[in-house]
Structure 1
Amino acid sequence: MSTLSASKPANTARGAIRQDLVRIASWIEPNTRVLDLGCADGTLLAYLRDHKNVDGVGVELDDERVIASVRRGVRVIQQNLEEGLALFDGMQFDSVVLSQTLQSMHRTEHILREMARVARFGIVSFPNFGYWPHGWSILRGHMPVTGEMPYQWYNTPNIHLCTLKDFQDLAASLDLRITHLATFNDDREVKFLPGWRSTLAVYRFESPNWVEGKRS
């Protein structure tokens, strides 16, 4: 594990990030502490720093993405998320983000519990397997290949695909209180029949470990 940082942050204009990340940013309060798991090139954390004065840190394994984060002036820890979040204290952060990574985690329940341990609010996004063309593809005898899941069955990193209802049931079993939901198809937000028409779901939940006025 290593921690890297840079002193010259790059500019991050609103138009430079995806709409799902803009929505995630809208759920995060200014002047708070944020942990971004699988932070990729640091785009979200740089945006939050520049627009909301957020004190953020990312976790990323890929060498090139770590370097890209550093170039944006983002603090990043190089570590495999499958090893857990043991290096972070309970309620060390206000919000923890896991963007488009949940479906590739081997220990799904574990990472959600860890998110609820280290922060009051958790935000996760994942491809919606309930998107209606997926069912049509399966009826034709093939696993779906779409923009959010652009892999063949034999080389996909997505090992735990789910629908919106699947995630909601899991969250309930872990006592995670869902506070917000947004769904997208490409960069367009979907509000009508989101379980069928969206390709990406974004959820915000509150940790059952949070005690008002006290960090435990």
Structure 2
Amino acid sequence: MQNNDPTRFSYEEIAKLVRPGSRVLDLGCGSGELLLMLQQERQCKGRGVDIEEDMVLGCIRKGLSVFQGNLDEGLKDFPSKSYDYVILNQTLQMLQDPVFLLKEMLRVGRHLIVNFPNFGHLRNRSQLMFRGIMPRNKNLPYSWHNTPNIHFCTRKDFRQLCGELGLRIADEICLNEQGKPLHIGRDLLATQVCMLLEEK
């Protein structure tokens, strides 16, 4: 089902970053809604990867090509530069070694699309500073002890990492709490960040 949460990137927004007719690898693809949209509306040829068996079966029921695999083990089954775009949607912060996977994505794809929650959002900073607790709100609904997020990353952190890895930020979209694109105050006011990356 399409994501209707205004604080999250819609599949339409992500699809706009993908050229029609491209080869796409969707990592952590879930039950395949984004991949299906890319095939139907952008005429892409795609494949998904997910670790959950029920998600893989959901993709198969939609007629999608899917591979069951653990992203923490990398992309060893995919040849270098075999895809035009490799997408990592809301999964970066859940990986054991995000740098390893980003390098693997760069090996396999010509362009990367990565989106993630901005843990540097003003509300998160305020909760930690004034209440002395780990952030928990509508954008980060988990408690510290049951969150799937194991690597907390701000927009500024990720931009710095891109420089260290030799990645150029070709495009960037940031959303505020109302789901509207931001053009100023992105480090403080963005709840979500989406970047189109390519090798320098």
TM above 0.5, one fold? yes
Structure 2 residue aligned with 1:93, among 80, 83, 88?
83
SS where residue 180 of structure 1 aligns?
strand
Q: Distance in 2 between matches of 1:203 and 1:20?
A: 14
The separation in 2 between residues aligned to 1:148 and 1:71, in whole angstroms, is 31
2:143 to 125, 144, 152: 152
Q: Cα deviations across residues 137-189 of structure 1 (Å, max 9, x unaligned)?
A: 10211111133321100011111111111001101000011101101135332
CA shift, 1:17, in A, is 4.4
Q: Distance in 1 between matches of 2:139 and 2:171?
A: 21
Distance 1:55 1:162 in 2: 31
Q: Which residue of 1 aligns with 2:42?
A: 52
Runs of 4 or more off by more than 6 Å in structure 1? Answer: none
Which amino acid is the alignment partner of residue 205 of structure 1? L
Query: Which range moves more in the overlay, 124-133 or 182-191?
Result: 182-191
Q: CA deviation at 1:73?
A: 2.0
Q: Which residue of 1 aligns with 2:17?
A: 27
Conserved? CA contact 1:122–1:207, under 8 Å? no
1:41 shift after superposition: 1.4
Q: Distance in 2 between matches of 1:116 and 1:86?
A: 13
Match of 1:129 among 103, 106, 119: 119
1:200 aligns with 2:192: yes
Q: Does 1:118 align with 2:108?
A: yes
Normalising by structure 2, what TM-score? 0.92
CA contact (8 A) 1:32 1:55 kept: yes
Greater alpha carbon shift after TM alignment, 190-199 vs 98-107 = 190-199
Which whole-Å CA distance do the structure 1 matches of 2:104 and 2:58 have between them? Answer: 26
Task: Tell me the CA shift for residue 21 of structure 1.
Answer: 2.4
Write the distance in 2 (CA, Å) between the matches of 1:87 and 1:148.
Answer: 34
Q: Alignment partner for residue 70 of structure 2, among 60, 80, 85?
A: 80
Match of 1:3 in 2: none
Contact 1:38 1:101 (C-alpha < 8 Å) held by counterparts: yes
Map of 1:213 onto structure 2: none
Aligned counterpart, 2:168: 177
Percent of matched pairs sharing the same residue: 38
2:29 counterpart of 1:39: yes
Q: Which runs of 5+ in 1 are unaligned?
A: 1-11, 209-216
Q: Distance in 2 between matches of 1:147 and 1:32?
A: 35
- Change in Cα spacing, 1:20 to 1:196, as seen in structure 2 (3 Å) is farther
Aligned residue for 1:189, secondary structure, equals: coil
